[in-house]
Amino acid sequence: QQPIMIHITNNRSICDSLRGVLGAMLLLLSLTGCEKDTEPSNFAPALTTGTATDIYRVGATLSGSINRSEATVVQEYGILLSELKSMAEYNELKATDGNNSFSLQVQNLQPGKTYYYCAYAYSGYSHARGEVKEFTTTESNAPVFGEPTATSVGEESANLSCRILDEGGSELSLSGFCYKERSAGGEPTVNDHVVNVAPSGGALTAALSGLNPDTEYNIRAYAVNGSGIGYSKTLTLTTKASTKRLATVGATTVNNITTGTATVEAAITDEGGCALLSKGFCWSSESATPTVSNTKLEVTTEGLTLTAELTGLQQQTTYYVRAYAENEKGIAYGEVQQFTTQKEIVLPTLSAVTVGEVTPGGFTVSASVTDAGGGTVSERGFCYVVGQGTPTIADNKLTATGEDSAFQATATGLSPQTVYIIRAYATNEKGTAYSDPMVVTTKKADPEEGDAVYPEKSLSPTLL
C-alpha cells in the first residue's frame, strides 16, 4: 500500500467525536474513555491494528485493516493516535485510499516519546475500534525522507526532488541522490553514481545528466548525519528512447588521379539528429575497409559536402578510400571507393641517329625509342637545322615511318655540299626527348675525282 501522509492537526476528545445528529438521546447512550460505542445491528466490522513501522524521531507509519460484511455501513475509518494509554483523548487519522488494508504516515511527533494507537471505523452513528498498541519515537536517527519524484525525464537527463521529513536530530554533513541502472540489481547507495546537493526549503532537488537513453534507473535520496546514512525509498524511472543516431554518409568519388595525389568528394546526407564532431576521409593501400585508425584527413570547412586532395600517395598503387562522419553516437562511414595511382612517366630515351644514303639533295636517317619512359609515345621523328645549332621540333621536321620502336625518315630537297645538324625526337605525356645530334653533309652536285667522302659522320663540337 502507498502510505497516506497526514499531519496531526485534528485534536479532539472522545466526547467531541460523538456526532450531534442523534441529539441528546444518543449522547446518553454513548460510552466515554476507551469503551466501545454502542453499535447498531448493521455495523459489525472486524478491525485489526497493524504494527508501527518506519519509526523515527518525529514520525512513524501506522497500519490497520478492516473486514466488513455486506450489511456493514462504514463512512470513515483509519487510526486513532493518543499520548494516553487510556485513549481518552486522541487524534483521528482518516484513511482515504478506500482499501481494506491501509497505512498512514504520522508526523510532527516528539522525539523519545511513547504513543498509543488503534484502528477505528465509524458508521455515521457509532465507532468501532481494534486493539490498542504502542510505539516509541527515537531520540535520534539517520535522516528520513518522503517519496522521491522525477520530472522532465528526457533521453539523458531527469529532474529529481525529495522532501526531508526529519534531519535526524543532528546537522546534515552530506546529502543528495544516488542512482544506478536497474539492470545492475540492488538498491543504489553512495557507492554508486552520486550527485550531491544541499537541502533547500526542507527538500533536495537535483538535475541528473549523462544518463543512457531508453534505460531504467533506480534512484534514492540520501543524507548523512551523526547517526549515519539515511535513504529514501527507491524511485524507478525510464529515460526516453534516443532520437539520435549515426550520421549517413554517401559514396566517395575520386578524380584527378596522378602518381601521388587524388581528389576525393562525398556528401553527408543525414547528420543523425545531433551535431557533427568531425568529418573527412580515411584511406589505406592495405585494408579494403579503411577506418580513421588508418590514414585520415579531417575536413574542417562548413557544410555537408566534403572535398579534399589526398597527397603523399605511392605511384602505381591501389588505394581504398571512404568518407566518414562522427557525432555523439559514433563514427559512420560511406561506401568504399577503389582507385589506382598512375605510374610515374619520364621522358623517352632514344638511340643515336644512323645515317644511310646521302645524295646532293638529301639523306636517309634512322633511330629507335629504347624506353618510352612509362608513358605512351604519341609522336616521333627527326628535326634538323642548316649549318650550326641544336635542332628542335620547332625547326625542320622529318616524318618518321615504322610500326615498332625503330623508325626512319628521308630528307629531300636539300642543298648540295651543305652541312646539316640532325636529331631524332620522341614525345610522350611527360614531353619531348631528343637524341644526340648528328652532322650530315650532302654531296656535291657534280663530284670530281679526289673529293672528300660523304657524309662527314663526325664533326668538331665547336661546329655544333
DSSP, collapsed to helix, strand or coil, labels residue 25 as: helix
313 within 8 A of 300, measured Cβ to Cβ = no
Residue 116 has a pLDDT of: 98
Q: Strand pairing of 203-208 and 193-196?
A: unpaired
The set of residues, in sequence order, having a beta carbon less than 8 Å from that of 85 and lying 6+ positions away, is 116, 132, 134
Task: Give me the pLDDT at residue 31, please.
Answer: 33
| pLDDT tens for each residue of the chain, 464 residues long | 444 444 443 444 433 443 433 332 333 333 333 344 444 455 568 899 999 999 999 999 999 999 877 777 888 999 999 999 999 999 999 998 878 899 999 999 999 999 999 999 998 887 899 999 999 999 999 999 999 999 999 999 999 999 999 999 999 999 999 999 999 999 999 999 999 999 999 999 999 999 999 999 999 999 999 999 999 999 999 999 988 899 999 999 999 999 999 999 999 999 999 999 999 999 999 999 999 999 999 999 999 999 999 999 999 999 999 999 999 899 999 999 999 999 888 999 999 999 999 999 999 999 999 999 988 999 999 999 999 999 999 999 998 887 788 999 999 999 999 999 999 999 998 999 999 999 999 999 876 666 655 544 444 443 34
Distance from C-alpha of 356 to C-alpha of 366, rounded to nearest angstrom: 8
The 3 state secondary structure assigned to 387-441 is CCCCCCCCCEEEECECCCCEEEEEECCCCCCCEEEEEEEEEECCEEEECCCEEEE
Q: Which three cell numbers stand for residue 423?
A: 636529331
Q: In sequence order, what are the beta bridge partners of 320?
A: 284, 338
CA nearest neighbour of 192 among 171, 220, 216: 220
Task: Give every CB contact of residue 198 below 8 A, 6+ residues apart in sequence.
Answer: 175
Instruction: Compute the distance between CA of residue 272 and CA of residue 450 in angstroms, rounded to an integer.
Output: 96
Closest among 159, 152, 142 to 222, alpha carbons compared: 142
Torsion sign, CA atoms 127, 129, 133, 138: negative
- The C-alpha atoms of residue 322 and residue 292 are separated, in whole angstroms, by 10
Phi, psi of 15 (to 5 degrees): -70, -35
Look at residues 128, 253, 231, 217 and name the one whose alpha carbon lies nearest to residue 175.
Answer: 231
Q: How far apart are CA 338 and CA 254, in angstroms?
A: 8
**198/134 Cα distance (integer angstroms):** 35
Q: Alpha-carbon Rg of the chain, whole angstroms?
A: 52
- CA neighbours within 13 Å on the CB side: how many for 429? 11
Residues forming beta bridges with residue 207, ordered by sequence position: 159
Gap between the Cα atoms of 181 and 187, Å rounded: 10
Widest pairwise Cα distance in the chain: 177
- Please report the pLDDT score of residue 380 as a whole number: 95
> How far is 13 from 349, CA to CA, in rounded Å?
124
3-state helix, strand, coil in the chain (%, to 5): 5, 45, 50
**What 3-state class would DSSP assign to 152?**
coil
With vertex at residue 289, the alpha carbon angle to CA 285 and CA 294, rounded to the nearest 5 degrees, is: 60
